[in-house]
Amino acid sequence: MKTKIFILPAHFASYLVNGDATSLEQNEINEIVAFTEKHNLLNCIDCTDESWFAWRNDMNNLGGDVMEFTFKAGE
């Protein structure tokens, strides 16, 4: 299984790991979908337990709490 790791906003965890979008705005969901399609990511299979602050992340240039997410990647 091929995997890819990205540093992404921590508040995306519930959606990426559990499919729960209740805490997200529609524009955030659209941003996540565009990012996963661009990188051919199938599903999130893991994330770190703790978040930390970073000035940017792999999805956008916004600073905030981030986590490391591991995705199953398409071929």
Whether residue 37 has pLDDT greater than 90: yes
- What would the pLDDT profile of 54-74 be if each residue is shown by its tens digit? 999 999 888 999 999 999 998
Spatial distance between the Cα atoms of 72 and 75, rounded to a whole number of angstroms: 10
For CA atoms 37, 41, 44, 47, give the dihedral sign.
negative
Whether residue 6 has pLDDT greater than 80: yes
Rounded to an integer, the average pLDDT of 12-35 is 94
In 1-75, at which residue ranges do the beta strands (DSSP E only) sit?
A: 3-9, 41-47, 52-54, 64-73
Instruction: Note down the domain range covering 53.
Output: 3-73
Residue in this structure with the two tokens 């955030």, named with its chain if needed: 28
How many separate domains does the chain show? 1
Rounded to an integer, the average pLDDT of 16-25 is 94
- pLDDT confidence band for 1 (50 / 70 / 90): confident
* Beta carbons of 16 and 41 less than 8 angstroms apart: no
